[in-house]
Amino acid sequence: MSQLPGTRVYLVAAVAANGIIGAAGKLPWRLPEDLRHFKELTLGHPVIMGRKT
């Protein structure tokens, strides 16, 4: 796969201690500070998520 010059791709992932990333279609935790941090990192940038996100 080719990449445009100067293009960078970053991965942001939240994983519980037991390895899960979701439970019943929701996050398995409620951390408002974590959600604010995610928003700060991603606001104004393209974000690719899963089909049900």
Q: pLDDT tens track of the chain, all 53 residues? A: 666 788 888 888 888 899 998 888 888 889 999 999 999 999 999 999 887 76
Alpha-carbon span 41 to 45, nearest angstrom: 8
Range of the domain at 33: 12-47
Residue 7 lies in a domain: no
Phi, psi of 33 (to 5 degrees): -65, -40
How far the first Cα of the chain sits from its last, in Å, is 25
Residue 4 lies in a domain: no
Instruction: Look up the pTM and report it.
Output: 0.66
pLDDT for res 50: 82
pLDDT for res 6: 83
Max CA separation in the chain (angstroms): 40
Into how many domains does the chain fold?
Answer: 1
pLDDT for res 43: 96
